[in-house]
Amino acid sequence: MKGETIRDYKRTLFDNESGRLSVDFSVQYNELQRLAYSFAPIHKEVTTEKQRVFVPFVSVTSVNWDSFSAGGGFFYYDIGVRIELAAKRVNFGLLYKF
């Protein structure tokens, strides 16, 4: 018969961080003849790294080739405390890690 046109539609209803929903349908004489849909969810994988809170360290320093010192300390988050032992003195220090 003449005029029996079927209109086919394909639409994406949404495509965002939740997923993608697409519909495919056919209409004839303003009536829905066929409806199909597809949903593809998005799965996010969240990974977290555990940051060490307490980090010790050691150090060796040479001001000139004839004077050496050894020391160490620790960082607590981003703030550090240092002690350095030289031949006749002791140095203390406060450090910031950025």
CB 81 within 8 A of CB 94: yes
Per-residue pLDDT at 1 exceeds 70:
no
Exposed, middle or buried by CB within 10 Å (0-12, 13-18, 19+), for 23?
middle
* Residue-range domain boundaries for the chain: 6-41, 54-96
Q: Residue 3: is its pLDDT beyond 80?
A: no
Kindly report, residue by residue over 55-93, the tens digit of the pLDDT.
Answer: 999 999 887 777 888 999 999 999 999 999 988 889 899
Q: Where are the beta strands (DSSP E) in the chain?
A: 6-16, 19-28, 31-41, 54-64, 67-76, 79-85, 90-96
Tell me the per-residue pLDDT of 27-61, one tens digit each, with 9 for 90 and over.
Answer: 999 899 999 999 999 888 888 988 889 999 999 98
The reported pLDDT for the residue numbered 2 is: 61
Among 3-7, 12-16, 30-34, 56-60, where is mean pLDDT lowest? 3-7
Query: Which residue in the block uniquely carries the two structure tokens 């360290």?
Result: 57
pTM of the shown model: 0.46
Please tell me the distance from the alpha carbon of residue 79 to that of residue 73, in angstroms, as a whole number.
11
